[in-house]
């Protein structure tokens, strides 16, 4: 869609349309392109489909659910009262909040892995304090986006909670363990490296 709107020639527009043919077919937005300015009408149709029509049934189902016990009517009558339920109140993230967001399982006590993990957890908590005291260019929001894709804690919290895991083995095809953190935003997992010194961990 972006390429369609950014096209500066009819040829570019036709190439962009060719690349977006699956989306255009889903949206039912077939148009005969005679002029470059036809990109605006096509772009509007695709935007309307993507933002409105594609989610219409889910939206209507949501509204039906909201009508139960006249919740939708109450929201219409007192929107300010319900605003925090939908937008959430601005909560300043602190080191304590970040510490409680992530859960982790340690290896069995007495194992070599356990000792390395406890060391990494101590570095993690020190790092959170450094962020809180503005001793790092990283922010709590940066970590949340990296690990979960969100820049703030959802109103209802995370379910399940994001997990803090440890990098013990190299990934497939790699020779050694990563020195850098890794994340899987779909499953909200943050994997941290195991460094012997805090400065290395922080860097």
pTM, entire model? 0.60
Cα distances from 36 to residues 2, 14, 20, 24, 63, in angstroms, run: 15, 9, 16, 17, 40
* Domains of the chain, each with CATH number or no CATH: 2-51 (no CATH), 56-87 (no CATH), 95-202 (3.30.2410.10)
Q: Quick one: tokens of 59?
A: 């939206």
Answer whether residue 131 shows pLDDT above 80. yes
Q: How far apart are CA 84 and CA 35, in angstroms?
A: 47
The per-residue pLDDT for 137 is: 94
Q: In which band, very low, low, confident or very high, does the pLDDT at 88 lie, cut at 50, 70 and 90?
A: low
| Range name among 11-15, 84-88, 181-185 with the lowest pLDDT average | 84-88
Residue 89's pLDDT band (boundaries 50, 70, 90)? low
Per-residue model confidence (pLDDT) at position 113: 94
Residue 200's pLDDT is what?
95
Q: Lowest-pLDDT range, 58-67, 122-131, 183-192?
A: 58-67
Q: Which residues pair with 190 in a beta bridge?
A: 164, 183
User: Which H or E run contains 198?
Assistant: helix 198-202
pLDDT bin (cut points 50, 70, 90) of residue 101 is very high
Contact 114, 106 (CB under 8 A): yes
The tens digit of pLDDT for each residue in 102-124 reads: 999 899 999 999 999 999 999 99
The string of DSSP codes covering 12-41 is HHHHHHHHTHHHHHHHT------STTHHHH
Residue of 54, 24, 22 whose CA lies nearest to 39: 24
Is residue 95 reached through a cis peptide bond, with omega within 30 degrees of 0 on the bond before it?
no
Q: Read off the pLDDT of residues 25-52 as tens digits, 9 standing for 90 and up.
A: 878 877 777 777 778 888 888 888 888 8
- Cα 14 to Cα 25, 28, 110: the distances in Å are 15, 17, 65
């Amino acid at each position: 869609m972006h390429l369609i709107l950014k096209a500066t020639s009819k040829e570019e527009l036709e190439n962009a349309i060719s690349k977006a043919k699956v989306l255009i077919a889903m949206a039912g937005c077939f148009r005969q392109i005679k002029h470059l300015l036809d990109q605006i009408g096509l772009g509007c149709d695709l935007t309307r489909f993507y933002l409105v029509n594609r989610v219409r049934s889910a939206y209507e189902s949501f509204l039906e659910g909201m009508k139960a016990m006249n919740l939708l009517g109450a929201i219409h009558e007192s929107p300010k009262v319900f605003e925090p339920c939908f937008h959430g109140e601005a909560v300043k993230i602190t080191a304590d909040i970040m510490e409680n967001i992530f859960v982790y399982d340690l290896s069995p006590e007495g194992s070599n892995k356990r000792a390395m993990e406890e060391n990494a957890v101590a570095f993690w908590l020190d790092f959170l304090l450094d962020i809180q005291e503005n001793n790092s260019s990283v922010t709590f929001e940066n970590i949340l986006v990296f690990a979960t894709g969100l820049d703030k804690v959802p109103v209802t919290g995370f379910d399940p909670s994001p997990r803090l895991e440890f990098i013990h083995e190299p990934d497939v095809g790699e020779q050694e363990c990563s020195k850098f953190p890794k994340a899987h935003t779909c499953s909200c997992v943050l994997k941290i490296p195991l460094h012997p010194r805090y400065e290395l961990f922080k860097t």
